[in-house]
Structure formats: C-alpha cells, structure tokens
Amino acid sequence: MEALLSLDIHCHLLPGVDDGAKDFEETCAVARALLDYGITHVACTPHIQSDLYPNTRETLLKLVAETQARLTAEGIGLTLLAGAEVRLDPDSCTPETWVTIGDLGTHVLVELAPGFPLVEQMEHQLFAMQAAGITPIIAHPERQALFIKDPEILVRWVEQKGFLCQGTLCSLAGAAGERSVNTLDTFLRRGLIHFMGTDSHHLDRRMRDLDQAVARLDAIVGPENAQLIRHGNPRALLAGQPIRRPTPVAQPAPQPGLVKRLLASLRLA
Ligand SMILES: [Fe+2]
C-alpha cells in the first residue's frame, strides 16, 4: 500500500506511559496496524502533563530505544522517533519537557488544555519555545473549543506567529463527529494545517478508515497540497528544511437550504 504519511508525528504507541498503549502487546498491535497503512516512521508522542503524566525527556528517550529494540526483535519493521505531546500549561510546559520530534531540537508537539485556556498565557509559553529555536506544532486544532469558537486565533498564530498545526486523520474519517470533520475541512482549506497524524492510542475508531481519510484530504486540498502535508513537510522536518504552508483553496459554495431546494424543484415540475 502507498504510505499514507511519510512520518506520523502524533502517536501514543509507547507502552504504559499515558492513555495510549497499555502494554507492549498493544504497542505491537498498533505498530502492525500503522504498517498496514504503509506508515513506517512514527514519532512517539506520549502526553506530558504534570498532574497525570509527568514524563521526562530522559525517561522517554530511554523508552523509545527499548521499545524500538523489542519491536525489531519481534520482526516489526516500524522506525520509532522520540517526541511528546506537551500540555500547554505553566507546570507541564517547561524547557525540561520540550521533547522535540526525533530529538532533533527543532519541533515540539503541543496540546491546549481543554476548554478555553488563556490565549496570552499560551502565547507566552510558545514564544519562549521559539526563542529557544524550537517551532511549536499545535496538535489537532479541529478538536479545540477555543479554535472552533474563534478560528481567527488560529489564523493569527499561523500567519503572524509562525506556529504550525497538525490535523488528525481520524477526524476526517468522521471518528470524532461531524463538527470535527467540518472544522478540519475549513482549517485545511484556509491553509492552516501543515501535517497530518494518526494520534493513535489503541486499535479503536482512531485507526479505522484512515485510507478514506487520506482520500478525503486529497479531495479537500488537492493533490499538490495533500502531497506536501503527507510527505513533503514531514520529510522537510526530518531533514532540517523549512516547513511550507499549504496553499489555501476555495471554500465550497454553500448548499441552498431545504426549503429553497423544495421550491426550486416545484418550479421545475
Ligand atoms: Fe494525542
């Protein structure tokens, strides 16, 4: 199968460190499922959240190396890279928790606290990261209440602040509900999504129909943008090259309401 993504930058594959794979058996199951989708390279991004998942760079790098060795011993040909999904709150997001993708020192995946966190406080943390030469990647903005309510915050973050965004394949497959499909569709059309990831935790709804999700992605943004999001940008990240913003595409024309359509059909009859 053609690889859905050159690199999955969001995955909870490491055993026993967050709400992802609970043990190595489950790690193997998720790894095999990713390989079935042609995904051969994965950044392991467990949550870092001071109250629930106090993971550290040292423990995660060690666990990535151990898990890689065990997968290889099982004959599972998935390549693991380091990473984390760092909660954007002052206790969780500190220089010690900035576990960069591939330990390359360039990009950190961050997630917003639920609800409506303070924008200025988050920007303060994100600017500190940038000042250290690290570019933040916002995880699944389509699931954040803040951006659903006020998408212009995300537009400003991408266009003026230089933050990057990762959408989730399962959101396009409908696993997170129709609102996430529509929100992600809009963000994609506005050129706000630089990467897609699986955010896989278990063999559940998040891993279903990902090939259909990619077909939908291609249809929404067009083949050139889709190629950039699926392959060009992940490869650029690994090669230390600039990440490019996809070209915005037109929003679909609004569908006439039911009443209008009924009236139109009556007139035609
Ligand atoms: Fe996640």
Ligand 1 center to residue 255 CA distance, Å? 34
pLDDT reading at 23 higher than 90: yes
Q: What is the DSSP string of 43-109?
A: E---EEBTTTB---HHHHHHHHHHHHHHHHHTT--PEEE---EEE-STTT-SGGG---GGG-SSEEE
pLDDT reading at 148 higher than 60: yes
Give me the residues near ligand 1 (ion), CB cutoff below 5 Å: 85, 199
Ligand 1 center to residue 88 CA distance, Å? 13
- Euclidean distance between CA atoms 3 and 7, whole angstroms: 9
pLDDT reading at 261 higher than 80: no
Using alpha carbons only, give the angle 35, 80, 59 rounded to the nearest 5 degrees: 140
Domain boundaries, the chain: 24-268
Ligand 1 center to residue 35 CA distance, Å? 19
Ligand 1 center to residue 145 CA distance, Å? 16
Q: How many CA atoms lie within 13 A of 261 on its CB side?
A: 5
Ligand 1 center to residue 263 CA distance, Å? 46
Ligand 1 center to residue 129 CA distance, Å? 20
pLDDT reading at 265 higher than 70: no
Fold for domain 24-268? TIM Barrel (3.20.20)
pLDDT reading at 171 higher than 50: yes
Ligand 1 center to residue 268 CA distance, Å? 51
- The pLDDT confidence band at residue 207, using thresholds 50, 70 and 90, is confident
pTM of the full predicted structure? 0.92
Ligand 1 center to residue 257 CA distance, Å? 37
